[in-house]
Homo-oligomer: A and B are copies of this chain.
Amino acid sequence: MRIGELARRTGTTPRLLRYYEEQGLITSARGANGYRDFDEACVDRVRQIRGLLDSGLPTRVIKQILPCLTTGAVHVSDPTPETIAILEREHARMSARIECLTRNRDAIADYLAAVRLSRRAPR
Contact = CB atoms under 8 A, between A and B. Distances in A.
A94 B98 contact: no
Interface string A74-103: 011001000010011011001111101110
Interface of A: 48, 51-52, 54-56, 65, 68-69, 73, 75-76, 79, 84, 87-88, 90-91, 94-98, 100-102, 104-105, 107-109, 111-112, 114-115, 118
Given A51-B96, A87-B108, A94-B104, 8 more contacts: A56-B56, A65-B104, A68-B108, A69-B108, A76-B114, A91-B108, A91-B109, A95-B105
A84 to B, nearest CB: 7
A114 B73 contact: yes
